[in-house]
Amino acid sequence: MRRLLLLAPLLAAPALSTPAAAADGPARIGVVDTTFRMVGRNDRVVVDRYDDPRVDGVSCYVSRAETGGVTGSLGLATDPNRFSIACRATGPIHIRDSKLPTNEVVFGEKASPLFKEIRVSRLYDQDKRVLVYLVWSTISLGTGGSAFNSVTAVPLDSK
């Protein structure tokens, strides 16, 4: 019991802190607890905002599941492949570079201590002048990868 009391502040600290958005990193919009855990933080769904680094006026909101408990609180758990994405025009859209690649990974965030990462790719449909954003995960150790994904689109103009 004494050991648990000594570990309590360490286990609670990650749940109480909300990371500030870095210049190119995500902004934490909110957290919803989904499963109660007796020790460590609860399982939860987090929602982060990512602003496209090459396209002004486009923001993507990614929700994803995070594992709680002791391993999740210590950053040692592999989060499940459950995520969703919605990208919207949040201002005037301006492409910074004269030519966008047709397929580019624009965001990524670790989802396990080793190899797994959740990524967002931007695909450019030149014919329809639409930016398509796809969220997916890299190969998780021993599972052979993931087919879980979600897609959203942002038109560049209304013509």
Domain count, the chain: 1
Q: So what's the pLDDT on residue 6?
A: 41
Q: So what's the pLDDT on residue 53?
A: 93
Please state the pTM of the whole predicted model: 0.72
Q: Which residues of the chain have pLDDT under 50?
A: 1-22
The number of C-alpha atoms within 13 Å of 66 and in the hemisphere containing its C-beta is: 29
Q: So what's the pLDDT on residue 19?
A: 34
Q: What percent of the chain has pLDDT over 90?
A: 38
**Full domain range(s) for residue 30:** 2-17+24-155
- Rounded alpha-carbon distances, angstroms, from residue 93 to 24, 117, 133, 155: 18, 28, 15, 9
Rounded CA separation 120/115 (Å): 16
The residue type of 136 is W
Contact 96, 83 (CB under 8 A): no
Closest CA to 97 of 131, 37, 54: 54
